[in-house]
Amino acid sequence: MTIELRHLRAFLAIAEEGTITRAAARLHIGQPALSRTLRQLESHLGVRLVDRSTHHLELTTAGRRFREKATAALAAVDAALDPRPLTALPLRLGHPWAALGGRTIPLLRRWDEEHPEVPLELRRIDDRTAGLAQGKVDVALLRGEVRAPGLVTELLRHEERIAVVPADSELASRSALALADLAAWPVALNTVAGTTTPELWPASARPRETIEVTNTDEWLTAIAVGRAVGVSTSATPGLHSHPSIAYRPLTDAPPVPLLLAWRSGTPTHPAIPALVALARQLVAED
């Protein structure tokens, strides 16, 4: 008779479960049918694979050897029939609020032109690592100090900080602002993914009031309605224009590092080096 994959799966289920009863339940077949399948396999091989002399089945010496071969054979078949490697896995690029700023659209377009076989998915995730630490993305654009363990980072550039103010405020009428100009207002702080904290100001001149928000939308709204001002980087206007918000240079705040990050010590997406190279090329063109 012809041996089929079901014979191998039946034998391995018996070997792993230790009883015909449990193996049959696992395979959703009757015990007589499973016993018959095992006998067919043993008859084809001409050897006894399972010792049935005890209540708890044991593999014979030949059975233990065949178990290794059957396991390898099924693994090879499962790999061959897995459709996922036949289509490229998307490269998931996370960011918490500004992606690559004004170079975000060029990044996506250039990627589609140069790597049409690998979809690049841009995902905004309100999290300090933009979902990277949780495995929600393969690589992330992050700003500021990255403290999460197990990540590899690549510095792309430093971005200048800017002031973000209500468009109808007196602050918007100025060509540039300093930290002291903002301290008289409540300052909106994104406590989940932002890079601004009260420590940005000198200890003797910190804002008298802060408004804590948990995502970019809340942060933009607080500023747009005139409840607060904010501090961001030069990338933000390129991705978050708003008629009720004005962006102005901030003259006395240190720049913010922009990083590409991915997980270390685990299999990584093979297209990450290509993304790093393209991102570096685009920021160098600014």
For domain 161-254, is the CATH number 3.40.190.10?
A: yes
More confident residue, 225 or 55: 225
Structural class in CATH, domain 91-158+257-285: alpha beta
Where along the chain do the CATH 3.40.190.10 domains lie? 91-158+257-285, 161-254
5-85, what's its fold?
Answer: Arc Repressor Mutant, subunit A (1.10.10)
With b meaning 16 or more CB within 10 Å and e meaning fewer, what string describes 66-75?
bbeebeeeee
Report residue 217 as tokens: 């939308």
Walk across the sheet containing 161-166 and list its strands.
230-233, 161-166, 245-249
pLDDT of residue 82: 66
Lowest mean pLDDT: which of 1-10, 77-86, 129-138, 218-227? Answer: 77-86
pLDDT of residue 83: 62
Report residue 84 as tokens: 């996922």
pLDDT of residue 177: 98
Residue 54 has pLDDT above 90, yes or no: no
> What count of residues does the chain have?
286
Q: Are 215 and 190 in contact (CB under 8 A)?
A: yes
Lowest mean pLDDT: which of 18-27, 82-91, 152-161, 187-196? Answer: 82-91
